[in-house]
Structures are given as structure tokens and as C-alpha cells.
Amino acid sequence: MVHLSMGCGGALYKKDVVLTAAHCMSGSGNNTSITVTAGVNDLNSSAAIKVKSKKVKVAPGYNGNGKDWALIKLARPIDKPTLKIATTAQYNRGTFTIAGWGDTEEGANTGTTKLRKASVPFVADRVCKRHYGNRLVSKEELCAGWQSGGIDTCQGDSGGPMFRKDDAGKFIQVGIVSWGDGCARAGVPGVYTEVSHFASDIARAAAAL
């Protein structure tokens, strides 16, 4: 899990490639303006590893509706474990971990310097659509959250990973924090990019970065 200087999260997909949300990026191309912070929970820790971006690739066809993923090529590799992404839909169920340095409540607008995490259950598209209707791009997005609200990702968490363990007990990324109406409202799940749907696109884009 990494922090991005514009106020988003991300995950190390390769030692020198970060997977994040397209809506955190200003577009594709050479970009040396992003500072990626890795290796720490506390962003102010002196142990923080800071690496600059080199290039950004936003999902082909991204227009603000679905396809909310992007890759950042780093100026140098980070010697930390990478997070495997889901390549099939089989892990799009169960309970997920979400994490980030974003707001701890709706409207806070401050974020946190210490990484926070929480658990949220999968929410079926059919149920998620009770609130979002056709604003949910069901094939490209995955919902998670408690019906009663109270626990969610929020502004500043975008781009960060939603993950669980696979059958072999290894962490696997199933989602990317994308959007939601407010944060942690009852009956309003968080919406995440459905990573498995884009796994081959992501692999191809990473190989071409």
C-alpha cells in the first residue's frame, strides 16, 4: 500500500509500478510530479520511502464513468512486497479489507497521517443498485459496505486497494477505491473498480509502460 502526493492511495503492482484510480490522475504521459510514499503507516515517519513518478497510464476509454484504474511507473523500484491482483471473479465475494490515509468521516477534508484499515462485506450489484441505480457500472464496478453504514472508505482513500486472501492464503487485490455518495451512510455502499474485470488490460498496460 502506498500514498500518493495528490492525496490518493495505491498498491504496488510491480516493484516499479503502482496501481491506483484514474480519477486521481490528470491524464496519461510522462509525469514526474507525483511523490509515492511507501513502507510506512505514518506518513511523517523518517523511515518513509519516497519515490517520484516517471510516467502515468490512465485506463483506455476512461471518461469518469467506470474504468477507474491507472498505472504509475516509478523513477526507481521500491523494495517492498507487491500485491497480486484478482484475475477471475471468484474472489468478488466475502469480506474485504480497505485501507487508506483518507478522511475518517464525511466532510472532514483532512485525511490522516496514520494509515487506517477496516473490514467491509461484499454487496451484490442488485443490492447496490437499490441506491445507485444505473449509476453503477455493474461489470466494471464492485460494491462493499455495511447496510447499517458507519464504516467505509472516504475522500483521500481513492486509488487504494480493497483486498482479501485467496484460497492459498495470499493477499489478493479485488478492488480500487473509486467513489460513493457521501461516506459510510446507511444503505449506501462504497463503489470500487472491479479489478478482475480489468486484470488482462492492467497486465498489458504495465508491460507497455
Q: Could you list the active site residues?
A: 23, 68, 158
Phi, psi for 108 (deg, rounded to 5): -65, -40
Binding segment (CB under 6 A) for ligand ARG, from list 107-115, 130-138, 156-164, 195-203 = 156-164
- Shortest distance in whole angstroms from residue 112 CB to ligand ARG: 13
- Shortest distance in whole angstroms from residue 135 CB to ligand ARG: 13
- With contact defined as beta carbons under 8 Å apart, do 66 and 141 qualify? yes
- Binding ligand ARG (rule: CB under 6 A), the pick from 74, 152, 197, 198 is 152
Phi, psi for 197 (deg, rounded to 5): -65, -30
- Binding ligand ARG (rule: CB under 6 A), the pick from 37, 53, 92, 153 is 153
User: Which of 67, 79, 76, 77 has its CA nearest to residue 25?
Assistant: 67
- Binding ligand ARG (rule: CB under 6 A), the pick from 20, 158, 193, 196 is 158
**Residue where the block lists cell 480497505:** 98
- Binding ligand ARG (rule: CB under 6 A), the pick from 53, 157, 163, 176 is 157
- With contact defined as beta carbons under 8 Å apart, do 36 and 19 qualify? no
User: DSSP alpha helices (H): ranges in the chain?
Assistant: 125-132, 195-208
Over the window 167 to 186, marking each residue x when it contacts ligand ARG by CB under 6 A and - when it does not, the resulting string is: ----------x-xx--x---
Cα–Cα separations (whole angstroms), residue 140 to 59, 93, 175, 176, 193: 12, 15, 10, 11, 6
Closer by beta carbon to ligand ARG, 10 or else 156: 156
Residues lying near ligand ARG in the complex (CB under 6 A) are found at 102, 152-158, 177, 179-180, 183, 190
